[in-house]
Amino acid sequence: MQDFAAIDFETANFERCSVCSVGVVVVRGGEIVDSFYSLIQPEPNYYHWRCTEVHGLTCADTDGAPVFSEVWKQIEPMIEGLPLVAHNAPFDKGCLKASFYTYQMDYPDYEFFDTLKAARQMLPHLPNHQLQTVSLACGYKLTDHHHALADAEACAWIAREIL
């Protein structure tokens, strides 16, 4: 796969629409050409302690952040015409669809590819197929796991290697 956009969401709570950060890495011709990161004011706007424990974000981080619909206006032109790639794509696709629904936006039915599913098929010998494990096997050391941009970059690296 030569042209795609890797995407990763973090959520504030267990509602898929509660995205609190997004990272996007655009790959064209097999090379990373652009990236984007933003905090997002989640909807509903509360943090479950377990989610904060994973990514470290709290209300204090996102109270002044733009809402999803405003952030997506910046992302949409970057990814136009590209398939989306995510590690555990059902989660990220679910977040995207739920956020579009919450903000009453028309969902354009983005094409998604899943590096987790591909890694399980292509790299069955790994001890697990977590993002940091797969990215390391593909030559990329993920140092800031659960930061949306770092995770999107790791996913992009994996996609270039095995998709």
Two tokens, residue 139: 């030559």
Asked if 69 and 98 count as a contact pair (C-beta separation under 8 A), the reply is no
Average pLDDT score over the chain: 97
Average pLDDT estimate for 125-138 = 97
Q: Is the pLDDT of residue 23 over 90?
A: yes
Average pLDDT over residues 149-157: 97
Number of domains in the chain: 1
- Residue 97 sits in a domain of what CATH number? 3.30.420.10
In the predicted model, what is the mean pLDDT of residues 121-128?
97
154 is in which domain, residue-wise? 4-162
How large is the average pLDDT for residues 79-99?
98
Tell me the mean pLDDT in the region 109-119: 97
d(CA 127, CA 33): 32
Helices (H), the chain: 49-55, 59-62, 68-79, 89-102, 115-122, 131-137, 148-162
- Chain length of the chain: 163
Predicted local confidence at residue 96, as pLDDT = 98
pTM: 0.96
Give the mean model confidence (pLDDT) for residues 54-82: 98
- With 90 as the cut, is the pLDDT of residue 1 above it? no
